[in-house]
Amino acid sequence: MGKPTGFLEYERETAIEQPPEERIHHFHEFRIPLSSKRQQLQGARCMDCGVPFCQYGGEIGNMTSGCPLHNLIPEMNELVYMGNWEQAYRRLSKTHCLPEFTSRVCPALCEAACTCGLNGKPVSTKENERAVIENAFQQGWVVPQIPSVRTGKKVAVVGSGPAGLAAALLLNRRGHSVTVFERSDRIGGLLRYGIPNMKLEKSIIDRRVKLMETEGVVFQTGVNVGKDISSDDLLKQYDRVLLTCGASNPRDISVPGRDAKGIYFAVDFLSQVTKQLLDFGDSRLPMDMAKGKQVLVIGGGDTGNDCVGTVIRLGAKSVVQLEMMPPLPKERQKNNPWPQWPKVLKTDYGQQEAIAVFGKDPRRYQSTVTEFIKDKQGHVSGAKVIRLEPKFNKKLGRNQMLPVEGSEQIVETDLVLIAAGFLGSESYVANAFHIEQDGRTNIKTEGYRTTKDRVFAAGDMRRGQSLVVWAIREGEEAARAIDDSLMGYTNL
């Protein structure tokens, strides 16, 4: 323990954020990291407690508590405090192959389970992790790890999201020849087109991809496996195939008027914005996509929040965000004790920006759409929104959100973004490989093996919609399973 009384002496300090009024004028990351010296003091706050729930990564109360990657967090935090940044990077790399992504977009499950958070504020482990990996890149410690010996085995990875990248990185370093197939025009999957630039600059992805290419990984974009190339051809060319195509089947809103123009799935909309930014840069922002429009966002999760932040940057006239459930409490309740994930109200960056621009929180709780209204040209012009109330269902043993009669209101809108989550993976890939799926269209597996010989699956495609950190863990574990199946053992 580098500083036994650090958690008593130093207050939690995090990166400085640009004010909402400033950051809404650009699409770049807006968090300004602490200096190295100030970040070291945050490492001193770690208690090196006897039972570090921060690195547990298991379920407590049906929710993940701690880091699914089992990062050696107290050890890393101590090395940060001591200023031993290189060893901190080496320690982090023992369990985590892509920390530059989670240190930006992870909800910090480790911090929610931090012992310091029981009676105070948790250690800023997420920002410590970001400081470690960014310092490692700056100092040149992150170098290509080219295998000295090749095994002669070939592996195809279908999908280049976090699970696919993690698996490809490890399998290549093991000595297998790895080719990653991506149907989009650029590598990154969810990281590239599902997460806005404000949360993850795309140069961060490019930096890692370039490093992996130097190590020997081959990337092929614009190749839609199951359509452009058959499963039989892939299995003839490769010894193993890993499917990491994500849970990209969006949940729709089936109500009258759904066929109106101007209604988009959130990820499709965010992808279009990101693609235009990548193609043309800051010189040609896609303002026409939302400027002057009354935007209705359906869904209160992270993607819904990303939509709010994005349309504000594109000059939206107004934003309303619908959430079916009641608002969470502002403080942790007795039935939600530490180290469970805290079910408390969070006002994220998009909502903060809406408050700054429009003077009010955009969220309307306990609300859903019953009908979309079209104008004479068939474009959406409004939505009927009804209020919901929770009622206990004895058969289900839980509350159900049921409509309140007579509570319908018309919300004027000319742009609707559906951010209602995902149902599972798109079935055409599974059908192409003749692989079984479960009732949620997730790939059925035993471990990471599918029902098709030599074909494996990992990430959201296997477990359903989840977090980037879980996708990376799945990719790492799938790599071990594939390596073992190829070599009879694994040292990954």
Domains of the chain: 6-139 (1.10.1060.10), 154-248+423-487 (3.50.50.60), 252-420 (3.50.50.60)
Cβ 240 vs Cβ 153: under 8 Å: yes
Rounded to whole angstroms, the Cα distance separating 355 from 352 reads 5
pLDDT for residue 283 is more than 90: no
The CA distance from 144 to 400, in Å, is 53
Q: Report pLDDT digits (tens) over 177-213.
A: 999 999 999 999 999 999 999 999 999 999 999 999 9
Mean pLDDT of 403-413: 96
Q: Write the pLDDT tens digit of every residue in 116-157.
A: 998 899 999 999 999 999 999 999 999 999 999 999 999 999
> Is 1's pLDDT higher than 80?
no
Q: For residues 428-438, give the mean pLDDT.
A: 94
- Report d(CA 325, CA 389) in Å as an integer: 8
pLDDT of 251 above 80: yes
Q: Does 2 have pLDDT greater than 80?
A: no
Q: Which pLDDT band, with edges at 50, 70 and 90, does 63 fall under?
A: very high
CB-based contact 282:195 (threshold 8 Å): no
Question: Is 419 within 8 Å of 263 (Cβ atoms)?
Answer: no
Work out the average pLDDT over 356-383.
98
Task: State both tokens at 283.
Answer: 């010189």
Q: Say whether pLDDT at 296 is over 90.
A: yes
Write phi, then psi, for 184 (nearest 5 degrees): -75, 180
| Distance between start and end Cα atoms, the chain | 29
Q: List the beta bridge partners of residue 150.
A: none
